[in-house]
Structure 1
Amino acid sequence: MTTTPPERIELDQLVIRRETDDDAQGVADAIASNISRLAPWMEWAVDSAASVDAQRSRIADAAVQWNSGSVYDYIVFDPSNNEVLGKIGIHRTAEDVLEIGYWLTGAAEGQGIATRASSALTMIAARMDGVSRVEIHCDAANARSQAVPERLGYRLDRVVDHPVTTSHQTGRQMIWIYDAAR
């Protein structure tokens, strides 16, 4: 058991690591070039999120959240060319519950990256002290996000009403559960 996840995770041809201020430009560029794909699903995906200053501020906030144990935010990148492929994180939603969230660039989709990264974080989160379950939440219409927990053996626990904040959301959020006691 562990109280915090590692700051760096290396998988075949993929690195997941805690962000630093030096990542602001790469993340801003990834958001800017993918804003039209992200905005229909993610309310934070607005033009201002693609600025380096906005990313520096978010990364500074993420460091505070990491140190408090509420959010563990990572960048996903290809070490062969230092290309930002997306982001993934672990968010504490209750004392014993952690949620995994993720997004990828269009170029990274369809290669199993979200599944591999989510699998690694699921195993880490499930071994953290006091955690009884790990969750992935997604809109009922977001088939790509839904496929990740399905592939990883999560079970659909429930579908709940959720405020619609973007153009493609249905207001129905799927809550997928991974039992940490497995």
Structure 2
Amino acid sequence: MLMAAEHWYELDWFEWLGVAGLPLTLFGLWLTLQQARQAADAARAARAAVRQTQRQIVAKQLHILIPQLTWVARELDASIKINDSESTKRSLDDWRRHASHVHGLLSSESEYEQESLLEALVSSTGLARTAARSLLSGEEGPVLPKCRRAHDAIGSTCDELIKWAGKNANQVITGDEGA
């Protein structure tokens, strides 16, 4: 068993290593904690950058899809005007597909979540499905009465989407998501 030296200068070299090891260990622990903090800060910054990038991608997708929806609505108007049931059904199907995509994007981003717009999208897609089924029934007659409710819902939904696009246009340009 080792006996402790009476004076500090009587320590052997291996005992000095033990004495010097304590402050070095504490210094290493401090460095490790600093690096862990820096890594945590970097991870938080990376997560924030990913969220911001995802929001910008969603906003840009929406700013592309909304004009497509308004174009589909114009095509629907034109096909109803010429009483073309096949073209009207195709426009209703296009509306359902694009509107469902927009709904998914809007509902995935809590920042963009607007209940009235989401409800309008759901309602218009449901009415478009009903109108398309009515057109498929093969009944003769004018197209407009078979899809009037869907047509009206699509028109009001387009109005809501255009308002949303105008309100949120700055987010795509500047990347300012309210942070």
TM-score range for the pair, normalised by the shorter chain length: under 0.3
- Greater RCO (Cα-Cα under 8 Å, separation 6 or more): 2
TM-score (norm 2): 0.22
Higher strand share: 1
